[in-house]
Structures are given as C-alpha cells and as structure tokens.
Structure 1
Amino acid sequence: MTKKRDILIDDTKFSTTKGPWFGELPVPEGGDYDFAFISDRTGGAVHEMFEKGLEAAKRLNPDFIVSIGDLVEGYWTDEAEAHGEWDRIDPLLAGLGVPVFQTVGNHDYGTEAMIRVWRERKGIDYYAFRYDRTLFLVANTETAPLSLPEAMLELMQQANRELIRNPQALFMDLMRDLAGDNVPAEAWKMTEDTLIDPHLSEEQIDFFERVLADNADVDWTFVCLHQPAWKKPDPVFERLERLLAERPYTVVSGHVHYLEVTEKRGRQYIQMGKTGGLHCFEGPGDIHHILSVKMRGGVPQFEVILLEGEGGTQTLDAYVKKTADTGGIGAEKTGM
C-alpha cells in the first residue's frame, strides 16, 4: 500500500505556493510514529518558556509538530510592526529541524494589518494534511473581524513594544501601568464566556467535507482549532462534527491557556494549556506544557510534557473536565 504524505489546499479559494508550515513531512515508514502539539505563546509571553517548549518537542524526535495558534503578540495595525514580530518567531520554527504546521490564532490574525501580513507570508489560513493513515484538518476560528476598541488596541500595541524592548517584563503589569485609571478594574476580568468567540466559515467545512470523503480510509482524524469551538453553540462547527461522527477523531484547541479535556460523543476534545502564554485561570490546568502524541496501531496515546520546575510527564486523565456538580475550570482571573 502506498504510504501517503499530502498537504491538501482548497484550490477553489487559494492559488499560492505559500503555506503556514516549515519543513517537509518525512516519508512515512508505515505503522507507528510520533508527533507533538505546542500551544499558545502569547498574551504576554513568559520569557524563554516558548523556546523551552520547542526544545522539549524537538527532544521527542517527532515526525512533525503542530502549533494550535497564537505565536506572536500581534494586534498590530502597522504592517511593518507585524512583519517585525514574525521576523523574530518564524526563524525559531524554520530552524528547529522538525516540520512545523501552524494553526491561525486570534493574536496572529486579529486585525486587518495582521490578516494582510499572514496572507503575504503564509498564504492560506486553513488546510489539511495527511500523514500515512492519519488526517489533520487545520481550521481558522478567527474569520470574523475583531471587535476591540481602538484605545484598547493602541494600549496592547504599546505594551507589545515594551515587551520587545524588555522581554522579561510582565504584559499585564505593562497594560495596567499604561492604562492608569483610564480602564476600570472590571475590564481586566476574564471568563470563558467572554474569552471564547469562535468564527468558522462554511467554505472551510465545504473543503473539509471534500477532504474527508477523499480520505475515508484513514485510521484517525485530528481537528486543529485555535478556539475551542465546541464550548459555544455554533452550527458551522456542529456541521463538521456531523461529518466526523462515524470516524475516530480528536479535537485539539488552545486559546484559553488552561488544559482541560471534554469527553463528548465518545471522543476527546482537548483544550491545551499554554506554551509560554499568559496566566489566565487558577486551577490544575494552568500549566505550561506541550502534548506528545504517539500513534500506536492507528490510535493516539497522549502524554503531557510539563515545562515548569523539574518538568516531568502526566497523562490526560487528571485534566478531564468535571461535571457542574464537582466544579470545572478554575476561578476567573484578572487577565487579557
């Protein structure tokens, strides 16, 4: 049987040779293989934690790495500043020596300037790829325009400039110092309800429907999202779930900076914690980590690779979302 390694692009929309990935998939040897997921770096990157995550992922000797978005602080309205930030991050990915596939995040794509720069540098904002008998659907949950007040955007950009000059500074401290008394205390409070606002497009699901039909023989399918779209009523995402219903699959997202696993329809929906990003919520899922995935017999085995302190590993079992009766995600946190 031919061992497949294909990158699949929606040629009804895109006509470009560019893509949000670095390196080339190795030729599958057939059977078992390993890869890794990395999560959010932004919202005020913890100094050198993302780099530590990349090195931890590389040490796993994976066939490839998947980022689920938010690699740059972003929110720039000036294209030169957006390019400047990508000029600092892209070489880290390109020089890793392991293929890296990117999912677009809100920080990466959150303003008209960021969208133009993404398209100029990376070409497409959703795609799929196949590696042997595993299929990956890489979606864009950021298709609706960002609705941040101009004053808040400028505040975030000022804080980003300070972080560039002083990477060890704390983003939220910079934001509060810059805002002074002009921003009320309640404006800094964050909840899942206000934080999660995914926007997938029907054209993506049309494309994924064709990809799924053409790759009905795979053992497993991964859906890569930035925002955890299953946490808000969304008919577009629900359509994708219906297309996936008869096959084994796993959904992986980020955005909330809190590791939590939802079990739904006999499948796992994994909301990753952070790989260098801002501390948002209190609780056991508030960790810096990457996710090791070992495909064994066509089925994924997950291991949480801890990045703080002495490191170590954990299973996902400790992060399965609890019911309303026993509590879930930690208390709301002052954050951004």
Structure 2
Amino acid sequence: MKMIWVVLMVLGFALTSAIAEGFSHSVTNEKKPWTTDAFEGDVQKFTFAIHSDLTGGERPQVFEIAMAQLALLGPEFVISVGDLIEGGGTRDELIAQWQSFDQRAAKVGVPMFYVGGNHDLSSALERDVWEDRYGPHYYHFRYKDVLFLVLDTEDLSQTRRDTIATQRAEAVEIYKTVGPEAFAKTPYAKSQERVTGAISDQQGAYFVDAIAQNKDVRHVFVFTHKPAWNADETRFHDIEAALADIPYTVFNGHEHFYKHQSRFGRDYIQLATTGGKQFPELGMSEDHVVLVTVAGTEVSIATLMLSGIRDRTGHIPLDGEGVCFAVGSCK
C-alpha cells in the first residue's frame, strides 16, 4: 500500500511539473492562494512592437524616448510603418539622415525591421540610397509560423516617380513657406499616389506567391505605409484576395492619426505618430507604440501611449516628463 502511495505521489509530482515547469511553492494545503498553475509556457508565443511615423517635421526627443521605452517592454523585435527620415537633399544628406535613424533605432536593443514610406522612397536617389544600405524595398519573412509582409507603396514607374518627386518637392516647399492650406491645393496633395500610394504588378505577384508558399502559417501581418486598399484599382486587392482564407492583420501609417476599421472581417489599423508632425483636428494624433502578442491562433494588440510608459523609478525615460506627446493637449 505504501508503494502505491509513493508511485501516486511521484506521478502527481510529474504531472504538476509538466503543467507548471519551473514553478515551485511552499504551500502544502489543498487550497491555494492563486488561480491556477497551468502556465502557458508556449514556445510559439511571442510579442513584437510597432512604431509609427517620425516625419513631416520630426519633434525632438520623442523617437529616442520611444526606443528607450520599448527596451523596457522587451519585445522580440520592432517593425515600423515607414517615414523614418525626412528625405530630400543630396546623397550625403540622405546618408546622414539614415545614420541618425540607425543610431537611435539601435538603442532598442532588439532587431528592427524597416518599412519604407514616401519620405524614404519617393525619388530615384532615395531609393538608390535605401538599396545601398538595406537592400529590397519590399520583402517578407516568417517567424514562429507567422508570416510578415512588408510592402512598398511608392512602387511607381520611373516616369511617374519623377513627376511625383518634382510635385512633392514643390509641395513641401509650399507647406514650409505658405502653410498646410496652400499645400492641400498642390498637384501632389491631390494626386492618388499621395493618398494610397502605388504597388507594381511585379510586387503584387511577389506577395501573392509568398502567401501561396506559406499557407500553413498561423497568422499574417501586413505592413504598408499608405492605405493602398483605398484605391479603386491596385495590386493590393490581389494580395487581399490571396489572404482570403488566412487570418491576417494590416498596419499602416502616413496620415498621422490613429484609425481602426474592419475590412473583410479583419483589423486594419492606421497608426498615428512616434515623433512625427501631429494633426489633432483629424482625430487621435498622439505619440504611441503598438505591442502585438501572438499566442497560438490568438492575436492581442495593445496601443500604448508614450506618456504612460515609465521606468522603475516612475519616470518617463530620458527625462521625458517635459516632452509633449499629444500636441492637441499640450499648452
């Protein structure tokens, strides 16, 4: 009888260890002062972070603070939604801008995946500098059976790109010297590419094939700077069709205010800013980051305002208490 009791005890201990590996306690009572010891312990569970636009007149300190805050939160990697530099200027000026971004982004201490925006990839020169430093303008990767698609919404023909680049340079100068109302009347501001961007046939086919080769994934995350789906005709619709039978989530930036919509039963989330110019009259235009956790087939998305992420002393990192993260609310 004693031997049976010992065997049952051993089996019970083994079962408990399997359920709660690495967990031990001092409580001998049948009742326990906690809810459960069935910890997830899922090797497939992971968390990544997303940051948004820096540009249109980057506001000092914000991005640096965001990187320090993300380092506190400890995601496995960080990905953007584009507009990482102001763009424009000579090759040397563009390189200097990218060096500044790279140095500041490195402070997060985990892999950083870049997404190109119109400030990063509008002109032929900007695209050349990107290629020299980072390679392709669009790409995909797979992590723990989750697929990530990184699009380029500045994928125009060379002729159209030259035209848009000229219009954009003129429009930016008008914005700086005359103001936003005059900017809104420029050919660039009124162009379809300014609003939804462009995706080439080649890029569309690339992502349709990537999806076909990864049908077994748990989830797909799509990152695009501009909301390409709002165009009447776009290769993005081909990508959506290819994703019809797979759970997916889309993130974009560009407009500098937060917006959530449901499209085909999926979340399409437009991020606001992480240091870029804000437009509070358009909606929630505040500095934030997003934390995404994937556990099994479940996806949890948390929007975290920079003003609320504090270190162990109760302060915003890098003496950030004096920084304005929501222009519409600051004096």
TM-score by length of 1: 0.71
Q: CA RMSD in A?
A: 2.7
Equivalent position to 1:130, from 130, 133, 142: 142
> Structure 2: which 5+ residue stretches go unaligned?
1-41, 311-327
> What SS is found at the alignment partner of 1:204?
helix
Give the paired residue count: 262
Distance in 1 (alpha carbons) for counterparts of 2:231 and 2:64: 32
C-alpha contact 1:134 1:298 (8 A) present in aligned 2: no
Q: Judge which range, 127-136 or 231-240, deviates more.
A: 231-240
- 2:203 and 2:221 map into 1 onto residues whose CA distance is 15
Question: Structure 1 unaligned runs (5+)?
Answer: 1-28, 160-171, 313-332
Farther-moved stretch of structure 1 (225-234 vs 264-273) = 225-234
Alignment partner of 2:196: what SS? coil
1:266 is aligned to 2:265: yes
- 2:34 is aligned to none
Task: State the alpha-carbon separation in 2 of the partners of residues 186 and 155 from structure 1.
Answer: 11
Structure having the higher helix fraction is 2
Amino acid at match of 2:258: L
Is 1:52 paired with 2:65? yes
Structure 2 SS opposite 1:282: helix
Structure ID, larger Rg? 2
C-alpha distance in structure 2 between counterparts of 1:107 and 1:152, whole Å: 10
Mapped partners of 1:101, 1:185: distance in 2: 31
Q: Do structure 1's residue 117 and structure 2's residue 129 form an aligned pair? A: yes
TM-score, scaled to structure 2: 0.72
1:235 offset after TM fit, Å?
3.0
Cα distance in 2 for residues equivalent to 1:235 and 1:118: 24
Q: 1:262 to 1:193 in 2, by over 3 A?
A: farther
- Does 1:68 find its partner at 2:81? yes
Structure 2 match to 1:153:
169
Shift of residue 110 of structure 1?
A: 1.6
Using the TM superposition, give the Cα deviation of residue 55 of structure 1 relative to its aligned residue in structure 2, in angstroms: 1.8
1:288-315: CA deviation from partner (whole Å, max 9, x where unpaired): 111000112232101111014x459xxx
**Quick one: percent identity of the two aligned structures?**
33
Q: Aligned partners of 1:34, 1:190: CA distance in 2, in Å? A: 42
Distance in structure 1 (CA, Å) of the matches to 2:165 and 2:52: 27
Which SS does the other structure have where 2:209 is aligned?
helix
Which of 110, 113, 126 is the matching residue for 1:98?
A: 110
Residues 6-36 of structure 1, C-alpha deviations (whole Å, 9 max, x = no match): xxxxxxxxxxxxxxxxxxxxxxx73211001
SS in structure 1 opposite 2:291? strand
8 Å contact kept, 2:292–2:302? yes
2:208 aligns with 209
1:287 deviates by: 1.3
- Hey, what's the Cα distance between the residues in 1 that align with 2:59 and 2:271? 17
